[in-house]
Chains A and B, each alone.
Chain A
Amino acid sequence: MSQNEKQNTDTFLDGQLLAKMAQGGAAQLHSNAEEVNKLNVFPVPDGDTGDNMRMTIESGIAALENSTSNNLAEVMEKLSHGMLLGARGNSGVILSQFFAGVAKGLSSYSKADAAAVGNALSLGVTQAYTSVMTPTEGTILTVAREAVEYAVARVTPDSTVRTLFSDLVKEMYASLQRTPEILAVLKEAGVVDSGGAGLFYIMDGFYRVLNGDEIAEIPAVEMTKKPVLDLSAFGPDSEMTYGYCTELLLQLQSSKVDVDAFDHTVITEFLEQIGDSIVAFKTGSIVKLHVHTLTPDRVLGFCHQFGEFLTVKIENMSVQHNENEELRQENGRAQRKKYGIVSVATGDGISEIFRELGVDAIVEGGQTQNPSTNDFINAFGRVNAEHIFVFPNNGNIIMAAKQAAEIYKDASIHVVESKNLGAGYVALSAMDPDAESEQVLLDGFNAAIETVSTGYVSPSIRDAEINGVQIRNGDFIGFVGKEMLVAAPDKSAAVGALAERMLADGRYMMTVFYGKDSDADERAALESYMQATHPEVEAYFLDGGQDIYPFILVVE
């Protein structure tokens, strides 16, 4: 490397360098994700912040694949767009919004010096703050803000991008260590803020690249679950009845069409003649397409006149289990309904129960596997309705749902702020397909949420004292929201004690979701306990099949 080039690398941030730094950030977080997961306020094995942030930045990296541009603004825009779509969990959404703000700040730079990058980082902080309804200090927000303020204040005409990131990372670490002083729950649990830690690892990776450190290769990550294939389902004499599930990303090409003016309904109209279950939308210059058809060759041929394919997936639906399921559901809703429902659910039992309650599309995920913004967008695409109500059923998923609602344009999306399974379950019972207006339904859902309290039983993964409850590693703990209520060495004792606490003050109904980790004896014990001690309570016992929590109690 010549002196001149070295100077250049140090002074200016360009597209290729940013791409490398992002790789470094992702790699650094990847190596430390498990540690970030463990920074969990409750001693429950459900921490996911590390995974959420890792998957969010990896989605940004995936968007940079095959990009050879050295234009900073272009690369930053791709990175940030990929992160927006891939954002999971509240920390992932905040991270993606931080990068979106930075991208705005750099949108007119083909390369940028320390001052410009510093300004862009400040914009990132502002956008991260505005993405949260009520910003909480002592979190990723504080860590980002304090570090950026510190680094920007130290920018001089002699600063380089490397010195900027050196200051940034140094202060970010210090700020992270201060989070327990600001947020009592962190102090009580003896941890630093997990989102802040995730951001630190990413920025640390950025800095390491600038510093010339070796960065580890990121192991290839499977971003989406592989569907179950049963190849024996289609043989030499099979008849093609289901057709092919055909999905593609089409990059519109200026050489073929007027990219900005292109209206994708041209494609939709064509597809209607040769297929069904059509979902198509255009984001920027890319058209995303999903169709079930007997003639995928015609789909490709038709679309090819407008651009080139980024990805193409064609699967025979006779061998593709998930798609058959989807097809079966889709056949039932050819007509555009007034109201549709998308709900997050985890566990076969819970998904089935939610479907019975009228949910049109399930977004897989929950406590340990938060769905991404893009997972929501895909689910919206599977629901043919004027208004779509979204039930995130987890406080850490609400932001990704809202981010998806912002991006999606083909229906009016209403995110119901259901923060747990019980809230979603009870609110869904207020669904009325004949409701006068979406507002009436929203009011009903929100009123229903208010009446519910949801308690979780889980094994503890460490000793702790929370809310004055003494917990030993391996105990079963029972908590409602952020309130730790009971701990006991015995699972049945814990669930009984939790039920007692929750049934105070005249509650009259309890629904229990049995998880994978509760056996028949424990279930029977709970049922007879309820009958013996609370015959006045209407109790329902459902097989939820959820992980982690052997029992979830929903009390109304």
Chain B
Amino acid sequence: MSYVILTDSACDLSPEVLSSFGVAIKSLTFRFTDSDKEYSNDEMPVSEFYEQMRQKRVARTAAVNTEIFCEFFASYLKEGNDVLYLGFSSGLSNTYNAARLAAEQLAAEYPERKILTVDTLCASAGQGLLVKLAVDRKNAGKTIEEVAAYVADTRLHICHWFTVDDLDYLKRGGRVSPLVAMAGNLLGIKPVLHVDNEGHLIKVGTARGRRGSLLSIAQKYDELAIDPAAGTVYISHADCRADAELLAKMLKDRHGVEVEIITDVGTVIGAHSGPGTLALFFLGKER
């Protein structure tokens, strides 16, 4: 039986990459607090978005709601496809829950179709990386159940290590506690964070300087990567491509690994983490 893999815009994969994977997304939306205009992911170039944030405009995001998921899923179900939706971490957004409710509602309407949803507990290109691995399995002929099981088994091996330029963005969005933000926001001190097993953002440590934070992230790779020389590695960055390339070079120098994708941190994640966010994703022994 044919099935499609679907995800949402938090995966931070470009339209080109998504189309090469054969994966469709629904976009979370954002708006600036000083305006009512609602934007979807692709309605504003990321460079402009971060420029607005630097100008102190505050962006808020909104989860995809159940109704939109119902329409989204139904469009595939109608054509006789089963649906496997891999959703943005429930620890960071209600989007996954909306998708799960949509799947429950649609189950009665399409009793002969399979509608599976998996909470990836991932974000940004970590979610993107997991989607990619799922697509690989699908292309290798695995069934929808097998792929869903694979995703559930693998999600806690997707390591997310990242740094931000200014913890105030995460604090404002309620993604880290004010106390953590204060301790990590001193001049020259950069936080090192990751996404934990519940899909929450956790500040793990601090580093001296931007370069120090990149080194800490590279050290996490040394420590945790399952296949450091040849594993699939993604990097996402919020308007700091040079740093992303520097990090890629550090990994290449240390392990000979080529980073497969360097992608933009999109508006959904970027609205919370701010310009200067730099994140590394890879398969590790544990998160």
Contacts and interface: CB of A to CB of B under 8 A. Distances in A.
Interface of A: 356-358, 426, 429-430, 432-433, 448, 451, 508-509, 511, 538, 540, 542, 556
Contacts of A511: 187-188
Interface stretch (B6-14, B116-124, B202-210, B278-286): B202-210
B114 to A, nearest CB: 44
A430 B183 CA distance: 10
Interface of B: 183, 186-189, 205-206, 208-212
Given A509-B212, A538-B211, A430 B188 contact: no
A357 B206 CA distance: 12
B240 to A, nearest CB: 13
B188 A509 contact: yes
B209 A432 contact: no
Give the 10 A-B residue pairs with the shortest CB-CB distance, closest first.
A509-B209, A508-B211, A538-B209, A540-B188, A429-B189, A540-B187, A556-B208, A538-B210, A356-B186, A429-B208
B187 A509 contact: no
A381 B234 CA distance: 51
B233 to A, nearest CB: 23
Given A430-B206, A509-B188, 4 more contacts: A429-B206, A429-B208, A432-B205, A538-B211
A511 B186 CA distance: 12
B209 A556 contact: yes
A538 B222 CA distance: 25
Nearest to B189: A429
> Main SS of the interface on chain B?
mixed
13 contacts: A426-B208, A429-B186, A432-B205, A451-B208, A508-B209, A508-B211, A509-B188, A509-B208, A509-B211, A538-B188, A540-B187, A556-B209, A556-B212
A530 to B, nearest CB: 14
B183 A433 contact: yes
Contacts, number: 35
Nearest to B214: A508
B163 to A, nearest CB: 13
Nearest to A356: B186
B111 to A, nearest CB: 51
Contacts of B206: 429-430, 432
A420 to B, nearest CB: 16
B55 to A, nearest CB: 23
Nearest to B180: A434
Contacts of B209: 508-509, 538, 556
Contacts of A448: 208
A542 B205 contact: no
Contacts of A356: 186
Nearest to B184: A429
Nearest to A451: B208
A433 B182 CA distance: 12
A542 B187 CA distance: 9
Contacts of A433: 183
B30 to A, nearest CB: 30
A57 B268 CA distance: 67
B276 to A, nearest CB: 12
Nearest to B205: A432
Nearest to B188: A540
Contacts of A430: 206
A451 B216 CA distance: 14
Contacts of A451: 208
The interface centre, meaning the residue of B187, B208, B211 with most chain A CB atoms within 10 A of its CB, is: B208
Nearest to A432: B205
Q: Pick from A429, A451, A538 the residue with the most CB of B within 10 Å.
A: A429
Contacts of A426: 208
Nearest to A539: B188
Nearest to A426: B208
Contacts of B183: 358, 433
B165 to A, nearest CB: 11
A451 B208 CA distance: 10
Most buried by A among B183, B186, B188, B211: B188
A429 B188 contact: yes
A429 B183 CA distance: 9
B207 to A, nearest CB: 9
Contacts of A429: 186, 188-189, 206, 208
Nearest to B182: A356
A220 B154 CA distance: 76
A540 B209 CA distance: 10
A70 to B, nearest CB: 58
Contacts of B205: 432
A511 B209 CA distance: 10
A357 B211 contact: no
A426 B209 CA distance: 11
A508 to B, nearest CB: 4
Contacts of A508: 209, 211-212
A357 B209 CA distance: 15
Nearest to A444: B205
